[in-house]
A and B are shown apart, each in its own frame.
Chain A
Amino acid sequence: GNSVTQMEGPVTLSEEAFLTINCTYTATGYPSLFWYVQYPGEGLQLLLKATKADDKGSNKGFEATYRKETTSFHLEKGSVQVSDSAVYFCALINTNAGKSTFGDGTTLTVKP
């Protein structure tokens, strides 16, 4: 079956630090990959996505590249802000079956 493994949190960084949250997956077929962000007290919202190998998704300074050879979709940001403090979820959707699988989430806290 499908699975998503994310870097365990919590992650605490100082403002302007570099962020990497690792995500690897196992899946049959050709899944689409997503990063969702959940700010405190809110629902999840899409941060970025990639639908095929070597695609790079980007949004709000965050980036992730779909690496089929390493089955990875690591999230990066060059300079984090306090407002980036949230829980980040890596997810895959098997487009053939429409089934979604989410990672366990990584809590990020950015301190001023």
Chain B
Amino acid sequence: DTAVSQTPKYLVTQMGNDKSIKCEQNLGHDTMYWYKQDSKKFLKIMFSYNNKELIINETVPNRFSPKSPDKAHLNLHINSLELGDSAVYFCASSHLDSHEQFFGPGTRLTVL
């Protein structure tokens, strides 16, 4: 069974569109994250979220918004996509006490 899954694996879209990436974890973790990895492999945390607190990296544009329908899901919604949003987006989860993060396989977003 996949611990952290993301859909879709690839997403190709036009500038200006709105898109969502879904993430699900079946580990019973209470904290989930979204990361952006650029073409140079630099990894930047965008959000961390548990049922009490959303922590937003202040450099993330407000076109990006996380949505959590329940503890096992944290989806990423992106409005008005721009060329610079092209990257690989990783979802991750952890238990609040251990902090070891488990990563999903990534979603490669290409904005044309």
B55 touches A42 (CB 8 A): no
Indicate if the CB atoms of B43 and A98 lie closer than 8 Å.
no
- In the complex, the answer to whether B41 meets A44 with C-beta atoms within 8 Å is no
Number of A positions contacting B (CB below 8 A): 22
Write out, one digit per residue, whether chain A residues 33-56 have a CB within 8 A of any chain B CB (1) or not (0). 010101000111110010000000
**Pick from B41, B44, B104: contact of A107, CB under 8 Å:** B41
Closest Cβ neighbor of A106 among chain B residues: B41
Q: What does the 1/0 interface line of A65-103 toward B look like (CB < 8 Å)?
A: 000000000000000000000010100010100111110
Main secondary structure of the interface of A (DSSP, over half): strand
> Assuming the A-B contacts A104-B42, A105-B41, A105-B43, are A32 and B103 also in contact, with contact meaning beta carbons closer than 8 angstroms in the complex?
no
- A98 near B48 with CB under 8 A, answer yes
- Beta-carbon nearest neighbor of B42 in chain A: A104
Chain B interfacial positions (CB closer than 8 Å to A): 4, 31, 33, 40-45, 48, 55, 90, 92, 96, 99-106
